[in-house]
Structure 1
Amino acid sequence: MAGGASTGELVQVVALLGAGVVAVPIFRRLGLGSVLGYLAAGLAIGPFGLGLFTDAGAILHVAELGVVMFLFIIGLEMQPSRLWNLRAEIFGLGAAQVAVCGALLTGLGILAGFSWQVAFVAGMGFVLSSTAIVMQILTERGEASTPAGQRVISILLLEDLAIVPLLALVALLAPSAETVSAAERWIELGIAAAAVAGLVIAGRFLLNPLFRLLAAAGAREVMTAAALLVVLGSALAMQLGGLSAAMGAFLAGVLLSESTFRHQLEADVEPFRGILLGLFFLGVGMSLDLAVIARAWAEILALVAGYMVLKGLGIYVVARLICARHDEAITRTALLAQGGEFAFVLYAAAAGVGLLDAELHARLTATVIISMALTPFAVMGLRFVTSRAGQSMDGVDVAHDLHSSLLLIGYGRFGQIASQPLLARGIDISIIDHDTDMIRAAATFGSKVYFGDGARLDILHAAGAHHARAILVCVDDKVAATRIVELCKAEYPLTPVFARAFDRGHAIELVHAGADLQMRETFESALLFGAKVLETLGTAREDVAEVVADVRRRDAERLDMQLGGGIYAGRDLLLGNLPKVPTGLMPREPERSPVATPGDP
C-alpha cells in the first residue's frame, strides 16, 4: 500500500512538472506568454480535465509560497529610499484606483441583484489585481523597472495592503457576526504593529550579522536555507500578526535591499520562486470548475465582461486624471483589469462566515480565474491600440524639407555617440527618430531631433535624403535597418549609406542590401576593451596595436570569404577603399579602417 501511495504521489509530481515543461514553451512560442501556458496545463491535468488531481486547493495553498517569494525578490529591488519616493503613487494613485473601481463594481453587483453586502465583497475582491500575473508579465516585457512599471507595482502594493482591512470588514458584515469590543480591536492592531516593528528591528540589526556569520562558515547550502528561513519566517510573522504573508516577505526584501548579501539572497531564492510560482498558476488552472461554468456560463461571462470593463474604465479614468499619457493608461488598464489571487482569500473568508453561498462562491471564483486567463490576451492586444502614431507630439517637430550634409536615422545609444565626432567637426546633421519620448529627452540636452520613420520613402525625402552627402542608419531594429538601406540605395544610389549592424549575420545582410559601410555595434568597443586589458597586463602598446590590427585583418578575411569575395575584397576592407564616400566626410586611418566589418568568433 505504501509503495502504491508513493507511486501515485510520484505520478502527480511528474504530471505537474511535465505539464508545465510541455505547455509553457508552446504557449510562449505562440506569443501567448507563460502564465496562460500554466493555466491551460493546470486545467488539462486538474479535476475537470484528465483528473490526475482531485484537490486543486491543496496545491494552490502550497503554491502561494511562490507569490510570497516573488514579493520578497521585488522587495530586494526596492531600496527604502526608492520606496519612499513612491509613497505618493502607493497611497495616492493606488488608493484612488481601489476606491473608484470598488465603487463601480459594487454598484454593478447591486444592479445584478446582489445585496449590498454581497455586492461589496464581490466587487472589492475583483478590485485586487493579480500580483503574480502582472509582475510576471512586467518582467517578461522588461518593464518592471521603468517609471510606468513602478507605478503599476505601487498600485499592486496598495491592493495587497487593502486585503487586511477588507478581511476585517467581511467579519463585520457577516450575518451572524459577533460583537467585538473596542479593546479587542486595539489588541489586534497592537499585535499587527508589534509584528511589523519586530520584523523591521530584526532586518536592521540581526539579518546582516547572521549572513556574515554564515558566509564565513563557507557552507553554501546553509546560506540557501537561511535565505528561505528569512522569507518564510517573515511571512509567518506577518500572518501571526494578522497581516498578509506576502507583505511580510516584501518588507523583509526591502530591509535587505541594501545589504551586501542582496544578490546572493536573490540567487538562492530565485529557483524556488520560479517553481512555486509556476505551481501557483497550475493550481489556479485546476481550480476552474467547468461544471459550474456549464451550469451558469451566461451569468459568469456577463460578470467577467461587466467587471473587467468597469474596472478597466475606472483604471483608465484614474490614470488620466493623474496625468498619465493615453498609452500608459491603456497599458495599465490591460495589465490590471483582472481579479487576482487575493480575491480567492476574500471570497473564502466571506463564504466561511455565511456571506456567500457555495454556488455564488464558485461562480465568483470562476469569474476571477477567467479574467486572469484573459489578461495575457489583453496585453497582446495592446499593440493594436497603442501605436507610434498615437504618441504625444507635444514638443516634437516632424521632419519636413530638411537640408543637411548628413542624414542620421535612429538616435538611440549608438546614434548619439556616432553623431558626436561629426558635430564636433562642425558637420550639419539632420536627425530623425520615431520615439517621441527620446526626442523630448534629447531636446533637454540641446539636441534637435525630428520625428520620422526612416523606413518610409516620403519621410526620407522630407528629411533631405536626396540632398545628403551620406545617410547614417543607426536604428536598433535589424529588419528595419536592412529595409532602410535597401530603400536608400534604390532611391539614392549615388549617396553613401553607413549602417549599424547587430551581428555578423546582419552585417552580411546589409552588404547584400547595398550598404557602403556596415559595422557591428559592439566590435570596436570590444576590441578596445581587450586592448586595454593587454596594456594593463603589461603588454607594450606597439604589440597591442599589432595584435588588434591582426584581429581586424583576420575578421575582414572571414567576412570576405563568407561574402564569396565578390562584394568587398579583404584588402579594401583593411585599407578603407570606399570610392563612394565623399572626401573629408569621415577621416580614415590606413591601419584602422572604419569599414572593418566585425564578426562573431
Structure 2
Amino acid sequence: MAFELDNKGFSDALVILGAAGLVIPGFARFRISPVIGFILVGILVGPAGLGSLVGTYPWLYHFTISDPHSIEPFAEFGIILLLFSIGLELSFRRLWSMRRLVFGVGAAELLGSGAILAIGLYFLGQPLAGAIGLGLAIALSSTALVLPMAGTQSPVGRSAFSMLLFEDLALVPIIFMLGALAPTASDAGFGNLVETLIKGGITVAIMLVAGKYLLTHIFSQAARTKSPEVFLAASLLVVIVSSMVTSLVGLSPIVGALLAGLLIAETEYHGEVEIITAPFKGLALGVFLLTVGMSLDMRVILANWPMLVTAVIGVVIVKTVVTALLLRFSGARRAVALEVGLLMSSPSETTLIVLSAASAAQLILPSTAAFWQIVTAIGLTITPLLAHLGHDVARRIDLASGEEPPPMGDDGSRPAAVVIGFGRVGRMVCDLLKTHNQPFVVVESDADVVAEGRRGGYPIMFGDVSRAEMLDKLRLGHARALILTMDDPVLSIRVTKRVRGWVPDLPIIARARDPDHAAQLYKAGASDAVPETLESSLQLAETALVDLGVAMGPVIASIHQTREDLRQEIKEAGELDSAPRLRRLRENEA
C-alpha cells in the first residue's frame, strides 16, 4: 500500500513535469503564449479532463491526474518559488527610487479598482467583508505574465512595473491580515489574533535584521567554491528555511519566500541568484498554471458560461478604465495609458492565493471562491490576447494623434558604463571614471574582491559573465560602453563576440595581452583593443625621450601618432587575419 501511494505521487510528479517540458517548446514553436498552453494542458490531463476516465481506461492513469488533492502540494511549491522570484525583483533602494509612482499611482490603482469591484459585489448580495476581500483579490494583476511581455524600460513597462510593485508589496499585508483573521473567524477569540500579529511582526523583524548579515556571509562562502550547484543549494536553503520559519509562527510560507527574495535582492549576489534560479522560476510558473488548469471543470464552465463571461468582462472593463484614467491624470500619453490598462485588466495568479486565504478565513463561501477561481483562470488565459490588443490599439492612437513616444530607457538617469573585472586594471579604470564623474557599474566573479570593492564604495556586483544570462541581465543595450579588463583572453573574446551580436552599436573597449590577442578582439567586434605589451613599450619610450632632453610636446605627439598607427595595423590585421602583419608588429614590440 505504501508503495502504491509513493508510486502515485511519483506518477503525478512525472505528469506535471512532463507536461511543463512539452508545453514550453511546443507552444513557442507556434508563437503562442505558454500561459495558454499550461492552462489548456492542465485542463486536459486534470481530474476533470482525461483524469476522469481512468476508471474506464486504466492506462490513462500514467498520463493524467485523477485526484484533485494530489496536485495541491505542487501548486504550493510553485507559488512559493514564484513569490521568491518576485521578491528577488524588489529591493529597498529600488522601491525608494520609485516611491512616487509606486505609492501614488500604484496604490490608487489597487485601492480604486478594489473599491469599485467591492461596491459592485456588495450590491449583488455579497456580505461587506467578503466583498472587500473579493474586490482586493480581483484587483490584483499578474506580475509573472505582465512583466515578461512589457519589460521594465519602456513607458508601458515602467508604468506597469510601478503598479505591480505596489501590488506585490501589498500582497504581504493582505495575506497576513486574512491569515490572522482565520482563527477569529472560527471563534478562537481576539487574543489569538493579537498573539499572531505580535509573533508575526517580531519574526519578520528578526528575519529582516538577521538576514542582512547572514545572507551576505552564506552567499560569499558559496561563491568562493566557484560551484553553481553550491550556489543553487544555498538559494533553495534560504527559501526553505524562511518559509518554515514563517509557517511556525502562523503565517503563510509564501510570506517567508517573499521575504527571502527581498533580503537576497539587497545583497551583491542577487544577480547571480536570479540567473541561477531562473529555470526554477519558469518551472514554478508552469507548475502553478498547470494546477490552475487542473482545477477547472469544463462542464461547470459550460453550465455557467453566461455568468462567467459577464464577470470576466466586468472585471476587465473596471480595471482598464481605472488604470487608464489614473495614468492619464498622472501625465502619461493616451496610448500608454490605454495599453497599460488592458495589459493589467485581468486578475492575477496571486488572486487565487488571496481567494484561498479569504475562503479559509470564512469571509467568502467555498462556492464563491470556486466561481472566482474560474474567472481568474479565464483571465490569466486571455492576458496575452489583451496585451496584443492593447499594443495594436496604442499604436493606432499614436499614428492618429501624431504623438511621439519618448526614447526607450529615458527615465531621467544617466546611462552607465559597464566594467567587467575589478583587478589591478579594472580598479584603475574605475578610479579614473569616478574622477571624471562618469557613472559606471562593475561586475566581478571573485567574492573576496566584490566584498572589498563594496567596502571601498564601488558600485560592484557579483556575477559570472561566462554565462550569457548574466550578460543579458546587464542590459547592455542601455549602457554607454562596455569595458573589459579581465585577464582571461579567451573569455574576453567570447564576451566581445556575444555582446557585439546583440548590441551592434555599443562601444566595446577591451584589454589585450599582446597584438595577437588585440587582433582577435577586433575580429570579434571590439571597438578598441589595448595591448598591454605595446602600451608598456610606448610608456618606456616616452620616459626615455623626455630624460634625453626631447621636449614634452613633440614626445607626446609622436607617441600618440605611433599608438594610432599601431592600433590601425592591429585592427587591419584582425580584419584580414594577416599573419605577416602580426609578425611585424611583434618584431616592433621586441
Q: Specify which of 522, 525, 534 is matched with residue 527 of structure 1.
A: 522
Conservation of the 8 A alpha-carbon contact between 1:65 and 1:277: no
2:296 corresponds to which residue? 288
2:140 corresponds to which residue? 128
- After superposition, give the CA deviation of every residue in 1:485-505 in whole Å (9 maximum; x if it has no partner): xxxxxxxxxxxxxxxxxx9xx
Q: Please state if 1:436 is matched with 2:384.
A: no
User: What one-letter code is carried by the residue in structure 1 that aligns with 2:15?
Assistant: A
Which segments of 5 or more consecutive residues in structure 1 lack a partner in the other structure? 399-433, 446-502, 507-519, 556-601
User: What one-letter code is carried by the residue in structure 1 that aligns with 2:117?
Assistant: L
Provide the rounded CA distance (Å) in 1 between the counterparts of 2:213 and 2:376: 41
Q: Please state if 1:83 is matched with 2:95.
A: yes
Q: Please state if 1:329 is matched with 2:341.
A: no
Q: Specify which of 330, 347, 353 is matched with residue 345 of structure 1.
A: 353
Instruction: Please state how far the C-alpha of 1:243 moved relative to its aligned partner.
Output: 4.5
Conservation of the 8 A alpha-carbon contact between 1:76 and 1:257: yes
CA separation of 1:165/1:311 partners in 2, compared to 1, >3 Å: closer, same or farther?
A: farther
Q: How does 1:233-272 map to 2 (within 5 A)?
A: 233-243=241-251, 245-272=253-280
User: What one-letter code is carried by the residue in structure 2 that aligns with 1:527?
Assistant: Y
CA separation of 1:142/1:3 partners in 2, compared to 1, >3 Å: closer, same or farther?
A: farther
Q: Please state if 1:164 is matched with 2:172.
A: no
SS in 1 for 2:265: coil
1:188 corresponds to which residue? 196
Provide the rounded CA distance (Å) in 1 between the counterparts of 2:368 and 2:409: 52
1:452 corresponds to which residue? none
1:147 corresponds to which residue? 158
SS in 2 for 1:91: helix
Provide the rounded CA distance (Å) in 1 between the counterparts of 2:244 and 2:329: 39
Q: State the identity as a percent.
A: 27
The structure having more radius of gyration, on CA atoms, is 1
User: What one-letter code is carried by the residue in structure 1 that aligns with 2:405?
Assistant: T
CA separation of 1:288/1:443 partners in 2, compared to 1, >3 Å: closer, same or farther?
A: closer
Conservation of the 8 A alpha-carbon contact between 1:90 and 1:158: no
Conservation of the 8 A alpha-carbon contact between 1:57 and 1:287: no
User: What one-letter code is carried by the residue in structure 2 that aligns with 1:436?
Assistant: P
2:376 corresponds to which residue? 368
Provide the rounded CA distance (Å) in 2 between the counterparts of 1:303 and 1:206: 47
Provide the rounded CA distance (Å) in 1 between the counterparts of 2:264 and 2:409: 37
Instruction: Please state how far the C-alpha of 1:218 moved relative to its aligned partner.
Output: 6.1
Q: Specify which of 513, 528, 532 is matched with residue 536 of structure 1.
A: 532
CA separation of 1:282/1:6 partners in 2, compared to 1, >3 Å: closer, same or farther?
A: same
Q: Please state if 1:378 is matched with 2:397.
A: no
CA separation of 1:521/1:536 partners in 2, compared to 1, >3 Å: closer, same or farther?
A: same
Conservation of the 8 A alpha-carbon contact between 1:57 and 1:283: no
- After superposition, give the CA deviation of every residue in 1:170-220 in whole Å (9 maximum; x if it has no partner): 65995xx53733x54443322122112111111222222233344446665
CA separation of 1:282/1:266 partners in 2, compared to 1, >3 Å: closer, same or farther?
A: same
1:421 corresponds to which residue? none
Conservation of the 8 A alpha-carbon contact between 2:42 and 2:292: yes
Q: Please state if 1:201 is matched with 2:209.
A: yes
Structure with the bigger percentage of helix: 2
Instruction: Please state how far the C-alpha of 1:331 moved relative to its aligned partner.
Output: 2.8
Conservation of the 8 A alpha-carbon contact between 2:181 and 2:193: no
Between stretches 368-377 and 255-264, larger displacement belongs to: 255-264
1:49 corresponds to which residue? 49
Conservation of the 8 A alpha-carbon contact between 1:46 and 1:286: yes
CA separation of 1:143/1:202 partners in 2, compared to 1, >3 Å: closer, same or farther?
A: farther
Instruction: Please state how far the C-alpha of 1:238 moved relative to its aligned partner.
Output: 3.5
Provide the rounded CA distance (Å) in 2 between the counterparts of 1:75 and 1:93: 21
CA separation of 1:387/1:221 partners in 2, compared to 1, >3 Å: closer, same or farther?
A: closer
The alignment's TM-score, normalised by the length of structure 2, stands at 0.64
- After superposition, give the CA deviation of every residue in 1:254-283 in whole Å (9 maximum; x if it has no partner): 333343333332333223222222111111
Provide the rounded CA distance (Å) in 2 between the counterparts of 1:330 and 1:179: 47
- After superposition, give the CA deviation of every residue in 1:414-468 in whole Å (9 maximum; x if it has no partner): xxxxxxxxxxxxxxxxxxxx953139979999xxxxxxxxxxxxxxxxxxxxxxx
Which segments of 5 or more consecutive residues in structure 2 lack a partner in the other structure? 52-63, 415-497, 510-520, 538-562, 579-590
Between stretches 436-445 and 303-312, larger displacement belongs to: 436-445
Q: Specify which of 203, 218, 221 is matched with residue 210 of structure 1.
A: 218
Q: How does 1:547-566 map to 2 (within 5 A)?
A: 547-552=570-575
Conservation of the 8 A alpha-carbon contact between 1:236 and 1:245: yes
- After superposition, give the CA deviation of every residue in 1:109-141 in whole Å (9 maximum; x if it has no partner): 2343434444333333212333333344345x8
User: What one-letter code is carried by the residue in structure 2 that aligns with 1:437?
Assistant: P
Instruction: Please state how far the C-alpha of 1:379 moved relative to its aligned partner.
Output: 0.6
Q: Specify which of 96, 121, 140 is matched with residue 109 of structure 1.
A: 121
Conservation of the 8 A alpha-carbon contact between 2:88 and 2:270: yes
Provide the rounded CA distance (Å) in 1 between the counterparts of 2:98 and 2:89: 13
User: What one-letter code is carried by the residue in structure 1 that aligns with 2:121?
Assistant: G
Q: How does 1:297-308 map to 2 (within 5 A)?
A: 297-308=305-316
Conservation of the 8 A alpha-carbon contact between 2:111 and 2:136: no
Instruction: Please state how far the C-alpha of 1:531 moved relative to its aligned partner.
Output: 7.8
User: What one-letter code is carried by the residue in structure 2 that aligns with 1:387?
Assistant: R
